[in-house]
Amino acid sequence: MTQDEIIEMAKKCGWDNPATNMMPLYEFAKLVSQHEREACAEMVDSYVGFDSELSESIRARGEA
């Protein structure tokens, strides 16, 4: 993930002043986790011979 992507995600969460409002920080952390989980699942999907259940279980971790 690039620095620009991280900054854009923070802006989407409304992270303008984390010192006064921590909720955007929690939302930001959630977005980063989702992004990283999806990147891992896509990498699994790209390998030939892998069962799609593996990538689906990676994605499902974010729904638990």
Cβ proximity of 62 and 36 under 8 Å: no
Position 29, amino acid: A
Q: What pTM value is reported for the model?
A: 0.61
Segment (H or E) for 56: helix 52-60
60 phi/psi in degrees, rounded to 5: -65, -25
Q: What is the pLDDT of residue 54?
A: 85
Q: What is the pLDDT of residue 49?
A: 61
Residues of the chain with pLDDT under 70: 1, 17-20, 48-51, 64
Q: What is the pLDDT of residue 27?
A: 81
Cβ proximity of 42 and 56 under 8 Å: no
Q: Residue 41: is it exposed, middle or buried by C-beta count within 10 angstroms (0-12/13-18/19+)?
A: buried
Q: What is the pLDDT of residue 47?
A: 82
